[in-house]
Structure 1
Amino acid sequence: MSNESATIVQKLWNFCNVLRDDGVSYGDYVEQLTYLLFLKLADEQTKPPFNKPSTIPADLDWESLRKESGTALEDQYVKILRELSNAQGLLGVIFRKSQNRIQTPANLQRLIHLINAENWSGMTADIKGTIYEGLLQKNAEDTKSGAGQYFTPRALIKAMVTVMHPEPMQTICDPACGTGGFFLAAHDYISENYGSTMPRAQKEFLRFNTFAGTDIVDNVVRLCVMNLYLHGIGGTESPITTDDSLSRDTGTRYDVVLTNPPFGNRSSITITADGGKRSNTSLTYERDDFWATTSNKQFNFLQHIKTILKTDGRAAVVLPDNVLFERGAGETIRQQLLKQFDVHTLLRLPTGIFYAQGVKANVLFFDKRPAREEPWTQKLWIYDLRTNKNFTLKTNPLQDTDLQDFITVYNPENREARVETDQFRAYTYNELIEREHVNLDIFWQKEDSLEDAADLPTPDVLAAEITKNLESALGLFQNIQAELDSKN
């Protein structure tokens, strides 16, 4: 982050501490910043050198807000939020269900002055985007807000995009898009690697048609849309929608899927696959395209992703450990995925890199292939970045350099020429399918820290890991109970 960007982020964030006394949470603050910053940017676009017609009615624009004070300011702000929440297109997405969280007019006026002091349109998209990303990261660091679940480590995102090699004119989807980190990294990758040779049509496609995202949380969609907008992605229509990705197959297919679906053991709705057991809950999804019925969100996202990929489409998905070993529906899904798709790479991620402590996760890479009798997976290459690795968000965060060896051995230019190393091993389809319950939770390196109590993780990390293990065990028992119930 540049000094200019860091200074503005710090200035805006310092004021958040003032608003905390007014009952405004970190998440609420970023939300209010989003509304005001959008109004300010729209106002700047109507002035030289842009001189564009305003996209916001005169009685709801930035100037109508800036000239007021006291109770009149609060009333005008509430009016703007209420009326713009009913707008169409990008405006409607940004202001959907918007509410004023700043109850003291003097604080609202001070925040307006802070934003008004900057010439946002005079900054490059990189600077504006970096400032907003900085605010999102600070929000994610507030563990009490829970915002960290929507924030994937940027070093991991960058590495995933690098090995996936997205190209111009390809469509890229994230069905659980959070704040849009995968889209920004893919946009940067395509711009940096093809930008100088891309004709106008490809540049316009990159801006307006490449990305499609969904998230179930209104406020997260708002943050994502604003994040893309500040980075110069999208137009008057939003590429991001508020919806439950798992509710249906929309019929749209994509070249690339990059995603980190929300972690959690159980969904409140049981997905019903063709021939699967129907839930007693009144809310059920009819998904005949799924291989198995399960209430596990990660398995359902995995099945959804296999559906929305084009033939020869490619996916990189962050998944928790239980997806690799859970029985019942999990075993069925792993069998079918290995057979019908080319599941070629598994990256075992270290702990300590996510804002939720104790998370044990992986990145699974697979390609969709045409239907045939023979299994498509020939070898699954597993890279162990977990054993004997110790990361923490504050003192030893995951860096780009930590993933450089993985990028090298992944060999995106020629996967057939891969070579085994101490951290990178290949397992054939037959070896995998013959493992008990098709368990893909595979390690071969010895954990040195287990022999030295001084090297053990901190108690809070250990407690979080124990909790996760107990939750996974409970999930297994629930599956067994469901199987027994179905036989009665």
Structure 2
Amino acid sequence: MHSKVRQQPAVYYKGNMDTREIAQKLWEPAKALQQNGLAYHDYVDNLTWLLFLKIAPAIDMIEELPATLNWRILLTTPTAQQLAYYQHILITLRQSTHPSIAALFSQARTQLKTVQQLKQLLETLTVLDDIVIDDLGEIYGEFLDLYALNDQEHLVPPRSLVDTLVILTQPQLGELIHDPAADTAGFLVAADQYVQITSDCDVFEDDCIPDITPAMPQAMLLGIEQDLARQRLAIMHCLLHEIDDTPHLPVQWGNSLLMERHALPSVDVVLSSLVFITEQRHEATQQTQTLALLRHSYHALKPKGRAAIIVPDAVLHATGHAQKVRKELLDNFVVHTVLRLPQGIFYPHQIPAHVLFFYRGEQPTERTQNVWFYDMRSQSTGFGRHLRLKRQHLMGFETAFGEDNYGTSPRQGEGKKSRWHSYSRQWLTQKNDSLDLAYLHEQETNSYEGQESIWTFLESAVAELEDLRDLLGG
């Protein structure tokens, strides 16, 4: 069963900190520096560039750097010249001929205003001094999670959900895995890790202890990200997970919708989140882009190619162009499962979403017959800053889905008022091909709001106690 996938044990370092606590240490200065005018994205960029310089020898990149530009020289440069020297490093590495370094430092220019800010970042990175290089990928992934949690400008699905979608689609060695909106490469990194583990031993065996080494076979990845800053973070994320940049970068800068169809190969697996932040006045334009990316995704599939894609609710019930796209998908591909996600997983943004699971049939006549729906939203706990979606919350769905990655495992519904049952293609036609079915009675009270209000009260109480402590002199 899927629940037998082995979880990596916690690794502890200084002061018994685990990888998540180390990531928290890396993030802590961001808030103070933001108050001094350094935006979160500038903090993340600079920490990423400095991290690369620090670990370049450990990841066999030191020979790709000019001899006069490295971490050791940066640390020993006199304070008065240190910020200027750092800026010189960034400008020089923009011109690197190494594809990953060129992408990582593309248009790099620091927004640090004082050498004291630079020294604070250098000091922050000392928490990594005793870290095993193999654990840096996990730490950086946790760091990106904290960035997403505090950032107001982009949406990243929880890693627990990403892991579940990867496990259910089961990418295989030699398959080409595509994300048309790759962001910081969360899906691609998870897919690569899954391929490495399952290529070494049976991931569903309790006694499977994978021996992952750099020499192990890797997934073939093709990510596209139109935001240059996001692509930069994706490249670092891949580097730290030892994902190769040949024959091409795992995440390329560009717009999937503007690339010529013949320039992108057909793919075996599509894993992506097509949920984006948009202003209300631009909602129609954003929905058009989301629908276009969905069409791009299913047309990119090879025969027997499969997909798991997160989409906003509106895409699944809107009329007009959205309905035409749904009809094309249902009539020409096999949509077998829809997961209705709980509220709050994209906190702080409350954008409701579903996951579509589908594949392209071996024959053109193979198309949707029945669609199974699993409702995690109705009459259930919502999530937010303090209550995060975890893998354990998804186990009920994983069990219902079954072990076959095309959704053909034996399935049994639990009645019309249950979380899990199917609808025929004919029935969906009568409902304007809607795939957003709130078939459980919604509770009048929202448990998510209730839980968040409790946390807000507790945070306020803690703040008052801290103020009282300061007033009393510690």
When the two structures are superposed, what TM-score results if normalisation uses the length of structure 1?
0.79
1:117-266 equivalences in 2 (<5 Å): 118-119=128-129, 123-125=132-134, 127-143=135-151, 145-147=152-154, 149=155, 151-196=156-201, 206-207=217-218, 210-235=220-245, 238-248=249-259, 249=261, 250-263=263-276
Deviations 1:6-44 (A, max 9, x none): 443233233334433431122211110110111111134
The one-letter amino acid of 1:415's match is: T
**Residues 8, 300 of structure 1: alpha-carbon distance in 2 compared, 3 angstrom cutoff:** same
Instruction: Tell me whether 1:431 sits opposite 2:417 in the alignment.
Output: no
C-alpha contact (below 8 Å) 2:401/2:409 kept by paired residues: no
Distance 1:235 1:392, change over 3 A: same
AA partner of residue 153 (structure 2): G
What are the equivalent positions in structure 2 for 1:340-379 lying under 5 Å apart? 340-370=332-362, 372=364, 374=365, 376-379=367-370
Distance 2:214 2:370 in 1: 37
Counterpart CA distance in 1 for 2:100 and 2:433 is 45
Q: Which moved more, 1:76-85 or 1:103-112?
A: 103-112
Q: Secondary structure at the match of 1:252?
A: coil
Change (3 A) 1:402 1:454: closer
Question: Greater RCO between the two (CA within 8 Å, min separation 6)?
Answer: 2
- Partner SS, residue 38 of structure 1: helix
Separation in 2, partners of 1:233, 1:210:
10
C-alpha distance in 2 between matches for 1:117 and 1:405: 38
2:421 alignment partner, SS class: strand
Moved more, 159-168 or 312-321: 159-168
Equivalent position of 1:55 in the other structure: 64
Unaligned runs of 5+ residues in structure 1 are 47-51, 272-293, 462-488
Q: Does 1:401 align with 2:392?
A: yes
Matched with 1:274 is none
Offset, 1:395? 3.4
Post-superposition offset of 1:97: 1.1
Larger CA deviation: 183-192 vs 399-408 = 183-192
Q: Deviations over 1:388-409 (max 9, x none)?
A: 1122223322121111111111
Do the aligned partners of 1:164 and 1:412 also contact (CA within 8 Å) in 2?
A: no
Contact 2:56–2:62 (Cα < 8 Å) also in 1: no
- The separation in 1 between residues aligned to 2:81 and 2:278, in whole angstroms, is 48
2:327 and 2:433 in contact (8 A); partners too: yes
State the Cα RMSD in Å: 3.1
Q: SS in structure 1 opposite 2:68? A: helix
Q: How many residues align structurally?
A: 422
Q: What's the counterpart of residue 51 of structure 2?
A: 37
Equivalent residue of 2:224, what SS?
A: strand
Deviation at 1:203, TM superposition (A): 7.9
Q: State whether residues 185 and 251 of structure 2, in contact with CA within 8 Å, keep that contact through their aligned partners in structure 1.
A: no
Q: Which residue does 2:435 correspond to in 1?
A: 440
Is 2:295 the counterpart of 1:303? yes
Q: Is the 8 A contact 1:22 1:104 kept in 2?
A: no
Cα deviation for residue 106 of structure 1 reads 2.5
How many angstroms does 1:107 deviate by? 2.6
Contact 2:20 2:139 in 1 (8 A): yes
Matched, 1:72 2:81: yes
Cα deviation 1:48-95 (Å, max 9, x = unaligned): xxxx86111112222332221333111111111112112230011100
Q: 1:265·1:297 contact (CA, 8 Å) conserved in 2?
A: no
Supply the AA of the counterpart residue of 1:194: S
In 1, Cα distance between equivalents of 2:21 and 2:153: 26
Contact conserved, 1:381 with 1:427, CA < 8 A, in 2? Answer: yes
* Percent identity over paired residues: 28
The question of whether the paired residues in 2 share the 8 Å contact of 1:380 and 1:427 is answered with yes
Counterpart residue identity of residue 410, structure 2: A
Q: 1:97 and 1:20 mapped to 2: Cα distance?
A: 22
Q: Could you tell me whether the CA contact under 8 Å between 1:22 and 1:102 is conserved in 2?
A: no
Deviations 1:82-137 (A, max 9, x none): 121122300111001111121111331342244357447x6142x21121122112
- State the one-letter code of the partner of 1:160: L
